[in-house]
Chains A and B, each alone.
Chain A
Amino acid sequence: MKNSLDRLMDADDSEPLVDELDRRIIQATQAGLPLDVRPYHALAEALEVAVDVVMARLSSMRERGIIRRIAAVPNHYALGYKVNGMSVWDVPDDSVARLGKQVGALDFVSHCYQRPRHLPVWPYNLFAMVHGQTREAVEDQVGEIAALLEGCNRGHEVLYSTRILKKTGLRISK
Chain B
Amino acid sequence: MDALDCRLVNLLQDGIDITAQPYMAVAGQLGISEEQVVQRVGQLLDDGYLSRFGPMYDAEKMGGAFSLCAMQIPADELEKTAETVNAFDEVAHNYLREHALNMWFVIATEHADHLPVVLQQIEQKTGYPVYNMPKLEEYYIGLRFEAGATQ
Contacts and interface: CB of A to CB of B under 8 A. Distances in A.
- Of B9, B137, B147, chain A has the most CB atoms within 10 Å of the CB of B137
Interface residues of B, number: 79
A79 B147 contact: yes
Contacts, number: 240
Main secondary structure of the interface of A (DSSP, over half): mixed
Given A74-B50, A80-B151, A110-B143, A58 B18 contact: yes
Contacts of A80: 149-151
Contacts of A67: 55-58
Contacts of A97: 137
7 contacts: A35-B38, A40-B18, A70-B55, A74-B50, A75-B48, A161-B104, A166-B93
Nearest to A73: B52
Q: On chain A, which size bracket covers the interface? A: 35 or more
Interface of B: 9, 12-23, 34-35, 37-38, 41-42, 44-45, 47-59, 61-63, 68, 70, 82, 85-86, 89-99, 101, 103-105, 108, 110, 131-147, 149-151
B144 A110 contact: yes
Contact of B45 (A15, A32, A167): A32
Interface in A61-103: 61-62, 64-76, 78-81, 84, 86, 96-97, 100-101, 103
Contact of A165 (B23, B103, B151): B103
